[in-house]
Structures are given as C-alpha cells and as structure tokens.
Structure 1
C-alpha cells in the first residue's frame, strides 16, 4: 500500500487526507447515537421502536441531504459543498446534546442527517475525479476506512466518558464532542482544490443547463435504478446490524459497558481491514466481483452470528469477519458510483442513487425494532439483514463493470437529447 500511495501527487494525497478525516469525523458523529441507545432507553424510558425511529430519521434525511448536495456539487463545485456539509452535521450533532426529550432529539437527528448524507456525496465525487484511474478503487476504499477509525474513536470515547461521568450526563457529553469535525473545514479550505475534471467541464457546459431528470432517462435510467436498488440492500443490511449491535450485546448477551466495547473493538478492527481489503480487490478483481463476493460473505456471516447458538467467546472471534466482510463491500462504492455517471451529472446521479439507498435502507433499523417486540432481537436483526444483502446481490447483476473508466474522457461520448455527454468505458492502463 505504501508504494502506490507514494506514487500519488501532492493534490491527490491532500485530497485523500482531507476526505479520510471527513469520513472519520462523520462516522464519529453518526456512531455516537448507537452507543447512547441503551442509556436513552433507561433515562427517558424510550421503547426500542422509538430508538429505531431516531436511527431511521437521521438516515432518511441523510438521503435528502445527499441528493441535494450531489446536485449542488454539480453546480457550485465539490469542495464548496464538502465544507458546507461538514459544518452542518457537526453543528447539529453538538446541539443534540441539549435535547430534553424524544421529540427534540428526533428533530435534531433529522437535521444532522442532512449534513451526514451530503458530506459523502460531495467527498466521494471529489475523490474519484482527482485520483487517477489505476488507483481510484484503492484510494476510495482506503478513504472509506476512515469510517472505521471514526467508529473506533466513538467506541473509545464512549467507554471513557461513561466510565467517568454518570450516564444521565455522559450521553450529552458524547454529542457535544460531535463539534470536532468543524475544525476540518480549516484544512479543506487551505489545502484541498477543486477537481480539474469538474472545472474543465464547467467551462464547456453550465451544469444548471443539464436537467437533473436526465438520470431518469436512457441511457442512464437503468444505471440509476439498479445502483439505487443495490444501495438499498447494502446499506439496509449494514445499518440493521450497526445500529442495533451495541444494544444486542448489552441487553441480549448481558455484557457490561467495557465488555460491549471489547466486542465492538474486534468488529471495528475487522471493519478497518475490510475497507483496505475491499479497496485492493476493487482494483485487482474489478468493482462487481468485489461487491458480489463480499455481499455473499456478509449475508453468510450474519446468518452465523445471529442464528447459530454461539458462545460469547465464539461471538468475540466471529466479530472480526463480521466487520471485515460488511465493510469490504463498501470500499469500492465511491469509485463504482462515480464511474457510472458523466461529469455533468456525477454528483446528481451518485448523490441520488446512493442516498436513496440510504433513505430506504434507513427503515431497516426501525423495522428491526418493531419486529424485536415479537421475537429475540438477534433474530430480528438477522432476518432483515440477510434479506437486504439478497436485494443488493440481485441488483448487481444489472450493473456494468466500470473498472478503468477515465472520468475526464470526452472521446466518443453519445448525447442524451442535445446536451448531455455520457461516459463510455474508455479505459486506461496502469
């Protein structure tokens, strides 16, 4: 990994570093909620269904934020939108620490979700346009590993804060620490440049002249529908597990705060390495083979983890592949989605498809909460997660392989109507 990173130029490395930090701090803010669910249930007397609604509303609004930010990034630039969204989700995570009841937290979580979804949409497009094609999969996946770093940071801070502060105040402290991503804006403002691909296209064609509805017309319609369905399955399955795993370990397995943190640490280490593994596989095997392989492995691992009569020791060990497979599946998505859409609509198409998946997939945590009222929580998690991964695997069959597509290529680009060029698979060699 060190050799390929050293081959990147200064702009590529700076963009990677900034986006890695953005993903890590984004994950820190988002994952804080999963750790405070048991406390809110105890302190506020929330039901599991209400806890699921809080998880779902942030994801639903992140879908809206991602779609809006994706469109804005095609009009005013990727970097400008990245700065705006980082500031937004940091602010509303911080304000969540002042919530006095379920209704207030529901509104604040919804607003926080707008920035969470928007940050990914802008950052993923920026990364894919700046990194050269032969390293795009590895770079996108490596940056995605920042999510595991942020998740791990949230787990460590959770264990520390809850060990030192009474739980009725500790959960507020976690949300207040969510203001930290705001400092990343200084780095982005100083070191990260807009992509040449966007600026060159903007000179030729004004982005606002290309209708956002073009992603629902041939030849993009099939890509839009299939990539949206894939995102629904991938993210629905992932969030069904991630949102409820700390609660499952604490309430069903009766683990302490430190015990829960230890189990999650194994999952998070697997997640970090999974991003790196998926990143390299995406460039070595191709996007589709990587996504299909880890989708199947993720479904199989969830079946084993949730349905098999495992001891706590076995669950500790299996937490590693559980995190590894699920997150390896995410690694190629930034590059894959960017390669599906042309520059004029890259933010719009990627933002819509990926975040529609996030929005619909957001209902899976709520459905798990509802179903857990009639059956064990682990079984409810397993049913929805395996079903979701099945949807993702089927959707992949309708998408093309995109490895090696040159995003800035204008050669032989057919038109949609009279104005929209579409990427053809013009490939480069490493």
Structure 2
C-alpha cells in the first residue's frame, strides 16, 4: 500500500468512525434524554410519547443527513474531497457537543439536524476519496473495509456508553462527541487530494452534473441507487436504531443501561463482520446477488429480533445477526456508487443517490415512532418496519452493474 493510499484510507476511516459514533449516541440515550426533556416541558414521558418524539427527532436527523450529503457532494466535486471531509468532521463534532446543552425536545432536534448535515456530507467525500486513490485490484476490499468504520464507530459509542455513559447523565455522551473535531485539523495536514479529482476538477459544473445523472447513460444508476439507499436507510433508522429502546422496554431490568450497552455491542460486532463480508461475498457472487442476500437476511432477522427473541441471551444472538445483514448492506454503496459514475460527477452522483434515499427514508423512524404510539409497543413497530427490506429485494432486480473507475 502506498503512502497516499494509507493516509487517505486512515483519514477517511477515522472520519467515518466518529461520524458513526456521533450518529449513534442519540439512539443510546434517547429514552433517558427524552424522559427528562418531556418532563421538563410538562409532557407525559410514557413509552408511547417517547416513541413519538424519538421518531420525530430521528426523522429530522435523516433530513439533515440528506441535505448534507447532497450539498457536500457538490462541494466535494468543487473544492476537493479532503477539504470537504475536514469541514464536515468539524461540523458534526461541534453540534454533537452542543446537543448536551439542549433544554427541550425542539432544541435537541435542531442540534441533531445540524449534526446530521455534517455526517451526511462526510460520507460522499470519504467514499469517493478511497475509491479514487486505490487501484482496481484493491478497490472493492478497501471500500468494503471503509464501510466497516460505521460498525467501529457504533461499537465505540456503545463501549463509551457501557463504561461511562450509563453512570452519568445522557448529556455527558453528547459532550464526548465533540472530540472528533480535532481530527479535522490533523486530516488536512496529512491527507493529500485525489489525483483523479485534480486532473478532472475543471470539468465540474453542478447544474450540468445534475442533468447528467438523468441522461440515458446514468439514469438507471441514479434511480436504482436512490431506491436502494432509501430501503437501507429506512431499515437502519426505522428498525436497527430502535433496538436500544426495545431492550429498555422488554427486559424491565434495574440496571437497564448495562443490558442496552451489551446489546449494542453485540449488534455492532455483527455489523463489523457484515461490512467486511459484503466485499468478500461480492467478489464471489456479484453485487446484485449480495444485495439480495443482505436485504433478505435483514427482513428475517428483523422479525426474529422484535417478535421472537424474548430472553436476553437469544436477543444478543439475533442482534448480532441483524447487525450483520442490515448494517453490512451499506458496504454495497461504498462499492457501487463510486464505480457507477465518472470522476467529474462521482461525488455528486454518490451524494445525490444516497441522500435522496435518506430524504425519502426520513419518514421511516417517524412511522416506527407513530406505530409505537398507536400500539404502545416498540416490538410490534420494529417488526412491521422490517418489511421494507422486501422492497429492497425487488429493486435490486433492476440494478445494472457498470464501472467507470480508472
């Protein structure tokens, strides 16, 4: 591995680790944070109301994530991958820290919305940078390994919660989330810009790029890619990120934070294996069949986790398998999107697809929260939301495999 490949990969990987960590913190502390904030506002803090407002904030987060992804996809093609990554890392870190100061639900929602703009923007630049600096023979594995950073970040957040957060106020968890801001400065010092972007940057035009996404050459990638992202993001935020709440409400244990922490660790160990495995499996059976395998597995494990895993031991196993499939599927986007478009519209195309999907999926956590409100059960809501993965299996049938990477 060359020096520029190593530094570029490490920089993008760490950016995505802390991206994931800051995104995950809310899911871990949602119940305790909303119980306090709703009580402060004179609103009932029952499971139904926590589910409703929790889902609403999740949806605001996804909208911000989509806005960040689309807008910073443009920025990455305009000013470069490295500078864009530095800006977005600083943005999501600072506003995660500010979330610790929230005094009501709406302030927390606003801070999470702006945090998400930075998190969404970091993905398009990081995935594109790694795809461009690695040679063809190492590209699929590097892109798959990059996506595993999300599981590492999720696991890191779980470990921090397990060792520190459960002994202190939920505000401490958000305050810890400001630490990655320092990475932004280090990133700019050691990571060099993609040579492929440097040689093609004068070809960039945002309006022209958006139009190109819907020409005959790229329209299949744009529509199918957006729908696949919609399914995966809907599932992540409408299913997986409700598992801490599921544990909280079905176990009724005294030290519930301990069990939530263990459950989150199990889920993310599975996710880490899923991220890495996606690239390996893709080399054997192709990306289309791998998507079908992971979407199908996500549907089945969603039902098992929310409806049938009643003991904590069984729940740990099902969470690991759920994480393997419905987190692992995101490695497909790091592989598919960069190769679906040429360099001068690559980050714009990847950002557009992933974040149009995120925008559509913003309704996911709200739906899960509303179903929880109607039935008074997180378990029923999560099981119903898992059916979204069947849509993913159908969409994959229309995927065409192309590769524009040099």
Q: Find the counterpart in structure 1 of residue 158 from structure 2.
A: 155
> In 1, are the aligned partners of 2:74 and 2:206 still within 8 Å (CA)?
no
Q: How does 1:172-251 map to 2 (within 5 A)?
A: 172-203=171-202, 205-208=203-206, 210-251=208-249
Q: 3-state SS of the aligned residue for 1:213? A: helix
In 2, the alpha carbon distance for the partners of 1:208 and 1:228 equals 19
C-alpha distance in structure 1 between counterparts of 2:108 and 2:191, whole Å? 34
User: CA 1:162 to 1:86, structure 2 compared with 1: closer, same or farther past 3 Å?
Assistant: closer
Aligned-residue CA RMSD (Å): 1.7
Q: Kindly tell me: are residues 336 and 211 of structure 1, through their superposed partners in 2, closer, same or farther at Cα, counting changes over 3 Å?
A: closer
Query: Structure 1 residue runs of 4+, over 4 Å off?
Result: none
| TM superposition shift of 1:406 | 5.0
Deviates more, 1:269-278 or 1:300-309: 300-309
Deviations 1:251-296 (A, max 9, x none): 1232411112112211111111111111222333322222111111
Instruction: For 1:372-411, list aligned pairs within 5 A.
Output: 372-375=372-375, 376-386=377-387, 388-402=388-402, 405=403, 407-408=405-406
Residue 11 to residue 54, structure 1, CA distance change in 2 (3 Å): same
Residue 11 of structure 1 and its aligned partner are, at CA, apart by 1.4
Unaligned runs of 5+ in 1: 1-7, 409-430
- Matches of 2:394 and 2:325 in 1, distance apart? 18
Comparing 78-87 with 279-288, which one deviates more in the overlay?
279-288
Alpha-carbon distance in structure 1 between the residues aligned to 2:371 and 2:207:
46
Higher helix share: 2
Q: What is residue 42 of structure 2 aligned with on the other side?
A: none
* Aligned pairs, number: 393
Matches of 1:396 and 1:129, distance apart in 2: 25
CA distance in 2, matches of 1:61, 1:41: 20
Q: Which residue of 1 aligns with 2:353?
A: 353
Contact 2:342 2:404 in 1 (8 A): no
2:84 corresponding residue in structure 1: 81
Q: Which shifted more, 275-284 or 192-201?
A: 275-284
3-state SS in 2 of match to 1:30: helix
Post-superposition CA distance 1:364-393 (Å, at most 9, x none): 11110100122221121111122x212222
Within 2, Cα distance between the matches of 1:189 and 1:247? 38
List alignment gaps of at least 5 residues for structure 2.
Answer: 39-44
CA separation of 1:15/1:222 partners in 2, compared to 1, >3 Å: closer, same or farther? same
- Give the TM-score, by structure 2 length: 0.92
Within 5 Å, give how 1:30-429 maps onto structure 2.
30-45=23-38, 46=45, 47=49, 48-165=51-168, 170-203=169-202, 205-208=203-206, 210-255=208-253, 256-308=256-308, 310-375=310-375, 376-386=377-387, 388-402=388-402, 405=403, 407-408=405-406
Question: TM-score scaled by structure 1?
Answer: 0.87
Contact 1:138–1:282 (8 Å) recurs in 2: no
Q: Are the structure 2 counterparts of residues 26 and 209 from structure 1 closer, same or farther at C-alpha, using a change threshold of 3 Å?
A: closer
